[in-house]
C-alpha cells in the first residue's frame, strides 16, 4: 500500500475499523486518522459517520452493467454472485480484474491511457488520479449528479482503473449511497475528542444540525466554531434506557417524575432569532412537514428549545358528541379503506384537551412530499413537550429536571388553549404500585408505557444509564406459522432471516399478516436456514415458500387496521420473541385470536 | 483426446450411494456403505466409514487409517495404473491436501476423471496438481463464482506473519483457526517460525504426527496442555480447528487475537459472521480462474459439476460452450470439522440445487 493519498488513508481506516470488534481499538484507529488525515477529509469522515452521506448519483443497474463489462462477464453471472456476497459494492470490487486486465469499453481507449486523456469532462465532473483525497472523490461523485450518463460511465471506469481492491470497495460504497462503517456517531465523537482534546459534549453540540461538508472547513466546524454560526442547532438528544428490573429497585417514588411514553416522533423545537426549526431525533430537519406546529411560537421568548414528541392529534372539543359510536361498529364491517379513516377512539387523557392518534396517522405527514391544506386538516399535528433545554438563549440542561419542568410549564402557560404545543402531562402516584396501575392505561391512551425520570437529573447527551428509564408495557404476542423465508443482508447475507408469518382463518387457510426479521440468535438462524433449504416448496426469486411447520412467537407493540395490508391488519414493531420448537403448526394462534387482540386494543 | 469407441454403459454414473464405475464395480468417495470404495482423500465427507474395501494413494492412506481405524485399505502410488474388472484406474495429484488425488477411469478407450477436491496453485505441502486429459471431467466447484479469486500464497503468508508478529509485539497470543487436515499443516509449513513458539490443538497435532511419520517435514510444534498459558508461552501462535476458536482454553492465553484461514474469508459478510478478529483468504480449493483453467486443460467435452454453486457454474460452463451437468453429491454437507467445503452448507445455493436425473448418459 502506498498510503500516500488521503483516499488510501481513508480506505485503510475502513479496513482497521472492519477488522476489529473492539470499541477501544475502533476509537483508537479513528483518533489516529483524525490526527493525520488531510483536514478536508476529516470533515468528510465526520459527515459520513454522522449520517451525512452523499446521494447516489449512479443507478445500481448501471454499476452492474459497467462492472460486468469491465470483468468480461455476462450480467446474469454478476447478478447471481450479488446475493451470495450480499453487497453490490463488494461484489463489484471482488470481480473487477487488475487495472491492466480490465476490458475496455471502447477500443479507442487503451488500457495504459494516461489519466489526463479523460480529464476534460463536461459539467464540472473531473477525473482524478491515484493521489486524490477522500474529499476530491466525494466532490467528483457529487458532480456526477449534474453529468450525463456517458460522463458518469467514464468517471466510474476511470476510478476503477485507478484504485486498488479495498479502495474500489470503499468508492463503490460511496457511489451506491449505502456507506456504513460500523461506528456510531457517539464513538466518532469520542475519537474526535481524543484527537483534538475538546470535550465530547462540546463536540457533539458542534456537530449537530445543518452543515454542508463541502462548505465548512475543519477549523470552523470542529476547532473554533462561531457560536452564532448556526441558529438552528439543536442539542444532542438524551435517550432513556429500557427498565428491565422492577421499579421498586429505583428507590423512593417521590424522587422520580413519571410521564407517558408517547408513540410519535421524538423531536426538538428550536426557536431562535424569530425563526423556528423542528428536528427529529435522527437529526433531520423536518420543519416544513409541520407548519402547524410553528404557528404560535412567536408567543414564546426568543431563544427557546423544547424537547418533546410530535403526534398526530385529535382535538376533543371538535368532536364532542357520541364518542362510543364508532366502537360499536361490528368488527367485520369496518371498511378497510375508508376515505377518511375514523379516528381510533381512546380514553380521555387527564390534563389534555385532545388525543394522540396512532403512529400510522402521523406517518401520512412524514411520507408525503408536500403537506397539503387537506392533510393538515385531516391529520393535525401536536407537540407534547417533555423538557425545556434553553430559555432566553441560556442553555439550562444542567439544571435539575424538576426546575426545568417548572420553567417549561410556566412558559407554555402563556400559549392559548388551542395551541399546537402543550406540556406532556405528568402521571401522579405516591407508590410504585399506583404507577403500575396507571401504566396499564397506557395502551388506551395510545402510549407505549411510562417514562421514569429522576427529579434531579440534568439533560444529558446520548444514552446514559441511571437517570431516565423507559417502563414500557409488556408487548402483545401471538404464535404464528412461518410461510415464506428470504435471505438477510450484510452480515447475515447467507442466512435466511426475513420471514413472513401467517395464522389460519376459519377454513384453516393460512393468511399472511406480518413480516419479521429480528429477535433470534445467529445460531437459531443457522438452524432455520438449514431447515428452509430442506423444506422449500417453491421459489419466487429470492423468496422461498416453505412447508408451514415452524411456529414463532411474534411480539409487537401495537395492532391496528390497515387498508395497505392484505390481511387488513398492521402490527407495530413486530419481532420474533421466540422460536416455539415445542409447538406444532396446528397449535399456533388463529385469525380469530388476532381479531380479538385487535378489538381489545381498540377499546 | 483421440476418438473413442462408444460404449453403451457410461464409464461413471451417479447413484444415491456415490459416483459408480460399473466396469470396476466400485464407487468413488461413496457416502453410503459399499463393498469397494475408491477414495480421493481423507476429509470426512469423502472418506467415510463402513465400506468393505478402500483404495487410495500411498500418501493418503495413513490419515485415512488414523481417522477410520481398522478398515481394509489398499494403496497405489500416484500415476500407476491398476486394472479393476474392465476398467483401468489411476490416481493423480489433486493438490488439495497431502495425498489427495483425482481418479482417472478408463473403459474401452473412454476416459473419465473425478477430481475430488482440488487446488491448482502449489502450496508447498501437497503434491502439486497435475492436469489429466479426459473425455469427461467431474469437477468440484466449491468456489465457482467470479468473486472468489485468491492472492498468491506468499502474499497471504506474509499477511499472517505480519499479524502474528504484531500480536507477539503487543503481548497477545495469536490464535488461528485452520482445518485440522491440510490447512493447519499448510500454515505450519509456510509460516515464519522465527517469530515465536507454535502450539497446536490435539486434533491438529494428531494429524501432524501422522504426516510426519510418513516423511512430511513440518516445523516443530507443541501440543496444547492444561498447564500452558500466555505466561509459559509468550508470543505464541496457536493453531486450532475452527470450532475451538472461542473455546474455554483461550482464557489462559489472554489477551488473544483470533484469526480464521479459509477461502470464505474473501467475503466480508462471512468474515463478520465468523466474528474472528482477522480473516485470511487461504483456500485448499481452486479459485474461479483456476477452476476455469483446470476444466479447459482437461480437454473434456463433458463436464459434471459437484460441491458448490453448481447451478450457476453449470450455466456459466454452458455459455462457454461446454456440455455441462450438475451431479448431486453429499460432499461438503456434513462434518462441520471436515474442511472448507463443509462451510458451504451454510451458504445459499451451495448444496440445495434440484437433483439432476442420475446417470451420466442422461
Ligand atoms: Zn477435501
Ligand atoms: Zn470435499
**For residue B66, which of B176, B177, B212, B197 has the smallest C-alpha distance?**
B212
pLDDT category at A491 given cuts 50, 70, 90 is low
pLDDT of residue A297: 87
B22 and B120 in a single domain? The answer is yes
Which of B147, B269, B315 is opposite residue A490, by nearest beta carbon? B269
C-alpha A76 to ligand 2 mean position (Å): 27
DSSP H helical ranges for A96-248: 134-143, 149-162, 165-176, 185-196, 200-206, 218
Contact A119, A94 (CB under 8 A): no
Dihedrals φ, ψ of B113, to 5°?
Answer: -130, 130
A84 and B266 within 8 Å at the Cβ level: the answer is no
Work out the average pLDDT over B66-88: 95
Q: B360 to chain A nearest CA, in Å?
A: 25
Q: What's B355's DSSP letter? A: P
CA distance A392 to A299: 13
**pLDDT at residue B183 greater than cutoff 60:** yes
Distance CA B176, CA B279 (A): 9
pLDDT at A90 over 70: yes
pLDDT of residue A344: 42
Q: Domain containing B161 — which CATH number?
A: 3.40.50.10710
Q: Nearest residue of B to residue A537 by CA position?
A: B354
- Mean pLDDT for the stretch of residues A79-104: 86
The residue ranking higher by pLDDT, A473 or A565, is A473
pLDDT of residue B209: 96
- Smallest Cα distance from B81 to chain A, Å: 40
**Which position has the grid cell 510418513?**
B214
> Last residue of a domain, which of B227, B262, B280?
B280
Q: Which residue carries 500516500 as its cell?
A: A4
**Contact list, A101 vs chain B (CB under 8 Å):** none
Please tell me whether residues B36 and B122 are part of one structural domain: yes
Read off the pTM: 0.70
Query: What would the pLDDT profile of B260-290 be if each residue is shown by its tens digit?
Result: 999 999 998 888 777 688 899 999 999 999 9
Q: Using an 8 Å Cβ cutoff, are A533 and B351 in contact? A: yes
C-alpha torsion sign, points B261, B264, B268, B270: negative
Do the domain assignments include residue B306? yes
- Asked if residue B119 belongs to a domain, the reply is yes
Residue A146 has pLDDT above 60, yes or no: yes
Q: What residue has cell string 468480461?
A: A72
Q: Least CA distance to A93: which residue of chain B?
A: B147
Residues B23 and B137 in one domain: yes
Of A85, A495, A530, the CB nearest to B147: A85
DSSP of B5-59: PPPSS-SSEE-SSSEEETTTTEEES-SS--SEEE-S--STTTS-S--SEEEEETT
Clarify whether residues B210 and B303 are in a common domain. no
Q: In this model, does residue B339 exceed pLDDT 60?
A: no
Query: Lowest-confidence range among A164-168, A526-530, A599-603?
Result: A599-603
Structure confidence at residue A336 as a pLDDT band (50, 70, 90):
very low
pLDDT greater than 50 at residue A193: yes
A524 near B CB under 8 A: no
Rounded CA-CA distance B65/B24 in Å is 23
- How would you label A127-159 residue by residue, b for 16+ Cβ within 10 Å and e otherwise? bbeeebbbbbbbbbbbbbeebeeebbbbbbbbb
Give A84's contacts in chain B (Cβ within 8 Å): 145, 147, 267, 309, 347-349
Inform me whether the pLDDT recorded for B361 exceeds 60: no
Which of the four pLDDT bands, split at 50, 70 and 90, describes residue A309? Answer: very high
**B348: nearest CB among A71, A95, A494:** A494
Task: Tell me the three cell numbers of residue A49.
Answer: 459517520
B123 versus A517: the higher-pLDDT residue is B123
Residues A382-393: what's their mean pLDDT?
Answer: 96
Nearest to B331 by CA among B115, B136, B21, B127: B115
Residue B190 confidence (pLDDT):
96
Beta-sheet pairing, A381-391 with A354-356: unpaired
Of A78, A81, A86, which is closest to B269 when you measure between CB atoms? A86
CB-defined contacts A:B, below 8 A? 77
Residues of A within 8 A of B149 (CB-CB) are 94
Same domain? For B189 and B135 the reply is no
- The x, y and z cell numbers of residue B169, run together, are 509485539
State the smallest CA–CA distance between residue B271 and chain A in angstroms: 8
Note the pLDDT tens digit of each residue in B2-53: 555 555 689 999 998 999 999 999 999 999 999 999 999 999 889 999 999 9
Residues A32-57 have a mean pLDDT of 89
pLDDT of residue A315: 80
> pLDDT-based confidence at B65, cuts 50/70/90?
very high
**Range(s) of chain A covered by CATH 3.30.470.30:** 238-472
Query: Worst-scoring range by mean pLDDT, A118-122, A229-233, A326-330, B328-332?
Result: A326-330
Rounded CA separation A289/B308 (Å): 52
Question: Can you tell me the mean pLDDT for B303-307?
Answer: 92
Ligand 1: centre distance to CA B334 (Å): 12
A32 phi, psi to nearest 5 deg:
-60, -45
| A373, pLDDT greater than 80 | yes
Task: Return left, alpha or beta for A124; rule: phi > 0 is left, psi -120 to 50 is alpha, else beta.
Answer: left
In chain A, what residues touch B145 (CB-CB under 8 Å)?
A: 77, 80-81, 84
Test mutation, B348, B349, B351, B352, chain A, max A CBs within 10 A: B348
pLDDT at A390 over 60: yes
Q: Which of B268, B316, B346 sits opposite A77 (nearest CB)?
A: B316
Query: CB–CB of A94 and B269 under 8 A?
Result: no
Q: Between these two residues, B197 and A343, which has the higher pLDDT value?
A: B197
Q: Which residues in chain B have their CB less than 8 angstroms from residue A90's CB?
A: 267-268
**For residue B136, is pLDDT > 70?**
yes
Distance between CA A557 and CA A174 in Å, rounded?
36
Measured between alpha carbons, how far is A496 from A286 in angstroms, rounded to an integer? 36
User: A265 with A366: CB under 8 angstroms?
Assistant: yes
C-alpha cell at A431: 407508590
Q: Which residue has the higher pLDDT, B269 or A14?
A: A14
Task: Name the nearest CA neighbour of B352 among A485, A523, A89.
Answer: A485
**Residue B250 and residue B170 share a domain:** yes
Residue A35: CB atoms within 10 Å: 12
Q: Check pLDDT > 50 for residue A3.
A: no
Residue B300: predicted pLDDT: 96
- Give me the count of residues in chain A: 603
pLDDT at site A113: 39
Q: Are B40 and B46 a contacting pair, CB within 8 Å?
A: yes
Our count of domains for chain B comes to 2
Task: Count CB-CB contacts under 10 A for residue A428.
Answer: 12
> Judging by DSSP bridges, how do beta strands A304-315 and A354-356 pair with one another?
antiparallel
3-state secondary structure of A315: strand
Same domain for B299 and B245, yes or no, is no
Residue B78's domain is classified under what CATH number?
A: 3.60.15.10
Question: Which chain B residues are within 8 Å of A490, Cβ to Cβ?
Answer: 269, 272
What pLDDT does residue A107 have? 42
Tell whether B104 and B217 lie within a shared domain.
Answer: no
Dist CA B169 CA B163 (whole Å): 10
- In this prediction, residues A360-376 reach a mean pLDDT of 82
**Nearest-CA distance B144 → chain A (Å):** 10
User: Which range is least confidently modeled, A52-56, A114-118, A223-227, A281-285?
Assistant: A114-118
Q: How far apart are the first and last CA of chain A?
A: 65
Helix, strand, coil shares of chain A, percent, nearest 5, are: 40, 20, 40
Residue A333 above 50 pLDDT? no
Percentage of residues in chain B with pLDDT exceeding 70? 88
Question: Ligand 1 centroid to B284 CA: how many Å?
Answer: 8
pLDDT band at B296 (very low <50, low <70, confident <90, very high): very high
Q: How confident is the model at residue B1 (pLDDT cuts 50, 70, 90)?
A: low
Residue A155: which region, alpha, beta or left (left: phi > 0; alpha: psi -120 to 50)? alpha
Lookup: cell for A428:
401522579
Single residue among B260, B280, B300 that ends a domain in this structure: B280
Same structural domain for residues B65 and B180? no
Q: Which domain holds residue B291?
A: 13-148+284-346
Task: Give domain A476-602's CATH architecture.
Answer: Beta Barrel (2.40)
Q: Say which residue the cell 439533560 belongs to.
A: A459
Q: Quick one: B109 and B202 in the same domain? A: no
Chain A residues touching residue B267 (CB < 8 angstroms) = 84-86, 90
Distance CA B179, CA A420 (A): 66
Q: Check residue A584 and give its pLDDT.
A: 86
Which stretch of DSSP H or E encloses residue A534? Answer: helix A522-534
Q: Are β-strands B237-240 and B198-200 bridged in parallel, bridged antiparallel, or unpaired?
A: parallel
The pLDDT score that the predictor gives to residue A56 is 81
The reply to whether B272 and B331 lie within a common domain is no
pLDDT for the residue B354: 26
Grid-cell match 482440488, residue found: B118
pLDDT of residue A226: 61
Name the band, by pLDDT with cuts 50, 70 and 90, for residue B181.
very high
**Interface residue ranges in chain B relative to chain A, Cβ cutoff 8 Å:** 145-149, 266-270, 272-273, 275, 277-278, 309, 312, 315-316, 319, 345-349, 351-352
User: Among A29, A454, A519, which Cα is nearest to A243's?
Assistant: A454
Report pLDDT for A479: 93
What pLDDT shows up at residue A582? 80
In the three-class reduction of DSSP (H, G, I as helix; E, B as strand; rest coil), residue A32 is classed as: helix
Q: How far is B155 from chain A (nearest CA, A)?
A: 13
Cell 446474469 appears where? A76
Q: Are A356 and A316 contacting, i.e. CB atoms less than 8 angstroms apart?
A: no
Å from B56 to nearest chain A CA? 32
Q: If you ran DSSP here, which 8-state letter would residue B114 be given?
A: E
**Closest to B270 (Cβ–Cβ): which among A71, A494, A533?**
A494
What average pLDDT score do residues A171-179 get?
84
pLDDT band at B226 (very low <50, low <70, confident <90, very high): confident
Contact A90 B267 (CB under 8 A): yes
**CB–CB contact A84 B347 (8 Å):** yes
Mean pLDDT of chain B: 88
Contacts of A559 (CB under 8 A, 6+ apart): A476, A569, A570, A571, A572, A594, A597, A598, A601
Query: Is the pLDDT confidence value at A123 over 70?
Result: no
Answer yes or no: is B321 within a domain. Answer: yes
Tell whether domain A238-472 is in CATH 3.40.640.10.
no
For B92-123, b/e burial (b = at least 16 CB within 10 A) is bbbbbbbbbbbbbbbbeebbbbbbbbbbbeeb
Alpha-helical segments (H) within A72-164: 75-85, 88-95, 134-143, 149-162
- As annotated, the residues of chain A forming the CATH 2.40.50.140 domain(s) are 476-602
- CB neighbourhood size of B65 (10 A): 17
Compare all CA atoms of chain A with the CA of B273 and give the residue at the minimum distance.
A491
CB within 8 Å: B268 and A536: no
Q: Do B319 and A83 lie within an 8 Å CB cutoff?
A: no
Closest CA relative to residue A450, chosen from A427, A420, A422, A482: A427
For chain B, what percent of residues have pLDDT higher than 90? Answer: 75
- Phi and psi at residue B141, to the nearest 5°: -150, 45
Average per-residue pLDDT for chain A: 83
Q: Same domain, yes or no, for B143 and B259?
A: no
Cα(B206)–Cα(A286) distance, rounded to whole angstroms?
Answer: 65
C-alpha cell at B56: 487410495
Q: Are B80 and B24 in contact (CB under 8 A)?
A: no
Amino acid at each position: 500500500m502506498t498510503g500516500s493519498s488521503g483516499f488510501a488513508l481513508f480506505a485503510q481506516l475502513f479496513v482497521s475499523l472492519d477488522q476489529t470488534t473492539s470499541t477501544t481499538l475502533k476509537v483508537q484507529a479513528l483518533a489516529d486518522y483524525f490526527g493525520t488525515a488531510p483536514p478536508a477529509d476529516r470533515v468528510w469522515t465526520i459527515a459520513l459517520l454522522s449520517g451525512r452521506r452523499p446521494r447516489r448519483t449512479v443507478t445500481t443497474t448501471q454499476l452492474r452493467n459497467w462492472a460486468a463489462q469491465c470483468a468480461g462477464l455476462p450480467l446474469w453471472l454478476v447478478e447471481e454472485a450479488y446475493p451470495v456476497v450480499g453487497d453490490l459494492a463488494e461484489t463489484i470490487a471482488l470481480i473487477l480484474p487488475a487495472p491492466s486486465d480490465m476490458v475496455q469499453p471502447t477500443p479507442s481507449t487503451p488500457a495504459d491511457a494516461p489519466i489526463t486523456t479523460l480529464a476534460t469532462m463536461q459539467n464540472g465532473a473531473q477525473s482524478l488520479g491515484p493521489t486524490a483525497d477522500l474529499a476530491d472523490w466525494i466532490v467528483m461523485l457529487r458532480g456526477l449528479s449534474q453529468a450525463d450518463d456517458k460522463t458518469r460511465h467514464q468517471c466510474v471506469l476511470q476510478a476503477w482503473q485507478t484504485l486498488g481492491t479495498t479502495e474500489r470497495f470503499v468508492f463503490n460504497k460511496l457511489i451506491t449511497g449505502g456507506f456504513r462503517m460500523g461506528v456510531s456517531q457517539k464513538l466518532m465523537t469520542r475519537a474526535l475528542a481524543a484527537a483534538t482534546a475538546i470535550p465530547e459534549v462540546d463536540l457533539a453540540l458542534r456537530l449537530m444540525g445543518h452543515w454542508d461538508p463541502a462548505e465548512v472547513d475543519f477549523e470552523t466546524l470542529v476547532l473554533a466554531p462561531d457560536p452564532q454560526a448556526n441558529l438552528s442547532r439543536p442539542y444532542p438528544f438524551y435517550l432513556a434506557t429500557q427498565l428491565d428490573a422492577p421499579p421498586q429497585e429505583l428507590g423512593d417514588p417521590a424522587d422520580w417524575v413519571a410521564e407517558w411514553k408517547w408513540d410519535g416522533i421524538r423531536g426538538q423545537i428550536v426557536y431562535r432569532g424569530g425563526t423556528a426549526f423542528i428536528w427529529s431525533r435522527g437529526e433531520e430537519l423536518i420543519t416544513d412537514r409541520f407548519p402547524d406546529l410553528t404557528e404560535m411560537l412567536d408567543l414564546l421568548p426568543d431563544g427557546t428549545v423544547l424537547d418533546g414528541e410530535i403526534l398526530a392529534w385529535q382535538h376533543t372539543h371538535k368532536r364532542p358528541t357520541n364518542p362510543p359510536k364508532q366502537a360499536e361498529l361490528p368488527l367485520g364491517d369496518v371498511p378497510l379503506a375508508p376515505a377518511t379513516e375514523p379516528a381510533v377512539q381512546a380514553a380521555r387523557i387527564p390534563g389534555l384537551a385532545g388525543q394522540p392518534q396512532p403512529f400510522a396517522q402521523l406517518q401520512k405527514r412524514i411520507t408525503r412530499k408536500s403537506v397539503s391544506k387537506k392533510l393538515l386538516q385531516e391529520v393535525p399535528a401536536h407537540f407534547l413537550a417533555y423538557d425545556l433545554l434553553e430559555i432566553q438563549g441560556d442553555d439550562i440542561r444542567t439544571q435539575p429536571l424538576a426546575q426545568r419542568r417548572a420553567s417549561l410549564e410556566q412558559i407554555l402557560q402563556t400559549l392559548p388553549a388551542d395551541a399546537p404545543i402543550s406540556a406532556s402531562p405528568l402521571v401522579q402516584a405516591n407508590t410504585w404500585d399506583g404507577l403500575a396501575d396507571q401504566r396499564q392505561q397506557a395502551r388506551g391512551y395510545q402510549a407505549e408505557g411510562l417514562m421514569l425520570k429522576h427529579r434531579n437529573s440534568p439533560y444529558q447527551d446520548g444514552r446514559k444509564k441511571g437517570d431516565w428509564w423507559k417502563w414500557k408495557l409488556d408487548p402483545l404476542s401471538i404464535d404464528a406459522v412461518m410461510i415464506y423465508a428470504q435471505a438477510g443482508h450484510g452480515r447475515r447475507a447467507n442466512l435466511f432471516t426475513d420471514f413472513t408469518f401467517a395464522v389460519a382463518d376459519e377454513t384453516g387457510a393460512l393468511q399472511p399478516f406480518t413480516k419479521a426479521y429480528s429477535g433470534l440468535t445467529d445460531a437459531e438462524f443457522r438452524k432455520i436456514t438449514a431447515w428452509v433449504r430442506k423444506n422449500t416448496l417453491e421459489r419466487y426469486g429470492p423468496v422461498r415458500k416453505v412447508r408451514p411447520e415452524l411456529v414463532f412467537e411474534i411480539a409487537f407493540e401495537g395492532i391496528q387496521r390497515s387498508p395497505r395490508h392484505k390481511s387488513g391488519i398492521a402490527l407495530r414493531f413486530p419481532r420474533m420473541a421466540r422460536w416455539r420448537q415445542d409447538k406444532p403448526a396446528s397449535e399456533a394462534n388463529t385469525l380469530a385470536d388476532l381479531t380479538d387482540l385487535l378489538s381489545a386494543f381498540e377499546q | 483426446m483421440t476418438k473413442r469407441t462408444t460404449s453403451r454403459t457410461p464409464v461413471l454414473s451417479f447413484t444415491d450411494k456415490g459416483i459408480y464405475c460399473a466396469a470396476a464395480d466400485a464407487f468413488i468417495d461413496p457416502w453410503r456403505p459399499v463393498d469397494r470404495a475408491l477414495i480421493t482423500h481423507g476429509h470426512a465427507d469423502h472418506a467415510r466409514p463402513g465400506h468393505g474395501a478402500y483404495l487410495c494413494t500411498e500418501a493418503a492412506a495413513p490419515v485415512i487409517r488414523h481417522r477410520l481405524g481398522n478398515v481394509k485399505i489398499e494403496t497405489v502410488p500416484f500415476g500407476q495404473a491398476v486394472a479393476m474388472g474392465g476398467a483401468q484406474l489411476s490416481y493423480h495429484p489433486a493438490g488439495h491436501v497431502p495425498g489427495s488425488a483425482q481418479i482417472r477411469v478408463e473403459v474401452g478407450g473412454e476416459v473419465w476423471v473425478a477430481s475430488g477436491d482440488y487446488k491448482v496453485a502449489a502450496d508447498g505441502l501437497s503434491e502439486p496438481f497435475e492436469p489429466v486429459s479426459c473425455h469427461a471431467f467431474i469437477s468440484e466447484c466449491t468456489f465457482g463464482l467470479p468473486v472468489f479469486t485468491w492472492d498468491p500464497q506468499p502474499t497471504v503468508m506474509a499477511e499472517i506473519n505480519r499479524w502474528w508478529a504484531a500480536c507477539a509485539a503487543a503481548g497477545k497470543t495469536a490464535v488461528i483457526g485452520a482445518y485440522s487436515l491440510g490447512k493447519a499443516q499448510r500454515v505450519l509449513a509456510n509460516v515464519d517460525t522465527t517469530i515465536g513458539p507454535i502450539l497446536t490443538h490435539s486434533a491438529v497435532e494428531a494429524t501432524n504426527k501422522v504426516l510426519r511419520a510418513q516423511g512430511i517435514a513440518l516445523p516443530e510444534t507443541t501440543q496444547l496442555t492444561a498447564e500452558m498459558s500466555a505466561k509459559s508461552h509468550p508470543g505464541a501462535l496457536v493453531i486450532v480447528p475452527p470450532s475451538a476458536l472461542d473455546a474455554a482454553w483461550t482464557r489462559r492465553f489472554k489477551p488473544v487475537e483470533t484469526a480464521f484461514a479459509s477461502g470464505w474469508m474473501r467475503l466480508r459478510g462471512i468474515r463478520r459472521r465468523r466474528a474472528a478478529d482477522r480473516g485470511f483468504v487461504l483456500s485448499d480449493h481452486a479459485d474461479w480462474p483456476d477452476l476455469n483453467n483446470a476444466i479447459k486443460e482437461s480437454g473434456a467435452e463433458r463436464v459434471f459439476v459437484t460441491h458448490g454453486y453448481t447451478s450457476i457454474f453449470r450455466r456459466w460452463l454452458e455459455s462457454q460452450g461446454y456440455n455441462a451437468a450438475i451431479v448431486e453429491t453429499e460432499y461438503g454437507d456434513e462434518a462441520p470439522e471436515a474442511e472448507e467445503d463443509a462451510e458451504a452448507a451454510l451458504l445459499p445455493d451451495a448444496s440445495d440445487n434440484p437433483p439432476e436425473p442420475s446417470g451420466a448418459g442422461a
